């Protein structure tokens, strides 16, 4: 006989909908706090958005003398240069800010940096992003998020009803705002890979939400005499084991990537890990409880004697 792993017992009956006011209050506090940090400190935009030059080097000495390098490059008077260890202890990532004038001035600044570094330094990567490209990328990233939300709204509306679509989009907006707040508070670099991570978070979260919504619709047809709040609670509890199992297995894969994938994708993985946790929370405590306020209509389904007894 095959053993089945169950994280949650079959008879679980947690009143998730009854805790919606507490969940909504916590979410509002976190969103407001995150947006406050975002407006006060701004996001730590990467060169993708701000423009500038990125130089990845490998030094002969191991580990690299970051402190001396910061002092040497800081004396060049070309703006706030960012220097950080990147992967191995002798690999360094240097970010030169966008210069005030033009691309020629940016090349001059890059030349000063190369002249100040040791002659035995190995240059592994040099990337330049102009200010116009950076502003275009910000606009494109914002459009991608908006189009994704609109597409999801249309999909949920077509598959279920408009009430489900509005609840799903509000829950996704909740996830996106919390993720932006997370980057504002931690001041981790926000770049194009982070935008991709946010879009992936939206996809993961809506997948969980659709599973719960599908069970809600099924139970609405099955238990036509049950109050809608009880149907929502029943549906969440019935899918809770699947939701947690999916989240845990996804997080295990992300932890492996975070540990062994290197610094290049670490910001991307950080966003995904936070988003998985928030997406799981929102599908249980935000998306489905929001349906209570939209009151979707019951389908005209024939009631059997067994269902009437329930």
Give the pLDDT band of residue 300 (cuts 50, 70, 90).
very low
Q: 230 or 48, which is more confident? A: 230
DSSP result, 36-84:
HHHHHH--EE-HHHH-EEEEEEE-SSSS--HHHHHHHHHTT-SS--EEE
**% of the chain beyond a pLDDT of 90:** 5
Average of per-residue pLDDT across 133-156: 78
pLDDT tens for each residue of 195-223 = 888 888 888 888 888 888 888 888 888 88
Return the pLDDT at 202. Answer: 83
Q: Is 60 exceeded by the pLDDT of residue 122?
A: yes
At a CB cut-off of 8 Å and minimum separation 6, what does 280 contact?
Answer: 208, 243, 244, 247
Return the pLDDT at 132. Answer: 62
Return the pLDDT at 196. Answer: 84
Average of per-residue pLDDT across 165-179: 88
Cα 245 to Cα 240: distance, rounded to the nearest angstrom: 9
Choose among 33, 27, 296: nearest CA to 167: 296
Cα 75 to Cα 93: distance, rounded to the nearest angstrom: 18
Cα 297 to Cα 291: distance, rounded to the nearest angstrom: 11
Domain boundaries, the chain: 17-44+134-300+304-308, 52-129
Average of per-residue pLDDT across 92-104: 73
Give the pLDDT band of residue 308 (cuts 50, 70, 90).
very low
Give the pLDDT band of residue 307 (cuts 50, 70, 90).
very low
Average of per-residue pLDDT across 22-27: 91
Residue 5 burial (CB count, 10 A): 6
Spell 85-107 as b/e; 16+ CB within 10 A means b. ebeeebbbbbbbbbbeeeeeebe
With tokens 């988003």, the residue in question is 275
Return the pLDDT at 7. Answer: 64
Fold of 17-44+134-300+304-308: Multidrug efflux transporter AcrB transmembrane fold (1.20.1640)
243: its two tokens: 């939701």
End-to-end CA, the chain? 32
Give the pLDDT band of residue 309 (cuts 50, 70, 90).
very low
Return the pLDDT at 29. Answer: 93
pLDDT tens for each residue of 220-257 = 888 877 888 888 888 888 888 888 888 899 899 999 98
pLDDT tens for each residue of 5-17 = 566 666 777 888 8
Tell me the CATH class for 52-129: alpha beta
Q: 271 or 90, which is more confident? A: 271
């Amino acid at each position: 006989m095959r053993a089945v792993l169950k994280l949650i017992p079959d008879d679980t009956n947690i009143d998730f909908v009854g805790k919606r006011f507490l969940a909504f209050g916590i979410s509002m506090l976190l969103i407001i706090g995150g947006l406050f940090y975002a407006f006060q400190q701004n996001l730590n935009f990467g060169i993708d958005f701000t423009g500038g030059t990125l130089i990845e080097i490998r030094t002969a000495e191991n580990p690299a003398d970051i402190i001396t390098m910061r002092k040497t490059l800081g004396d060049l008077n070309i703006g706030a240069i960012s220097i950080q260890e990147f992967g191995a202890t002798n690999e360094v990532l240097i970010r030169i800010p966008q210069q005030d004038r033009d691309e020629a001035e940016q090349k001059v600044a890059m030349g000063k940096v190369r002249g100040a570094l040791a002659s035995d330094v190995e240059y592994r990567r040099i990337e330049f992003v102009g200010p116009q490209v950076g502003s275009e990328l910000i606009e494109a990233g914002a459009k991608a998020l908006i189009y994704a939300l609109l597409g999801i709204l249309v999909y949920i509306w077509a598959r279920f009803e408009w009430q489900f679509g509005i609840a799903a989009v509000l829950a996704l907006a909740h996830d996106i705002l919390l993720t932006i707040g997370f980057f504002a508070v931690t001041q981790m670099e926000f770049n194009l890979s982070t935008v991709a991570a946010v879009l992936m978070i939206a996809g993961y979260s809506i997948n969980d939400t659709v599973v719960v919504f599908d069970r809600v619709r099924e139970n609405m047809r099955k238990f036509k005499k049950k109050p809608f709040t009880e149907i929502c609670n029943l549906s969440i509890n019935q899918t809770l084991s699947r939701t947690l199992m999916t989240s845990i297995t996804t997080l295990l894969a992300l932890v492996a990537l975070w540990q062994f994938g290197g610094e290049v994708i670490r910001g991307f993985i950080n966003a995904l890990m936070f988003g998985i946790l928030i997406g799981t929370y929102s599908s249980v405590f935000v998306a489905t409880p929001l349906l209570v306020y939209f009151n979707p209509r019951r389908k005209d389904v024939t009631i059997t004697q067994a269902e009437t007894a329930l």
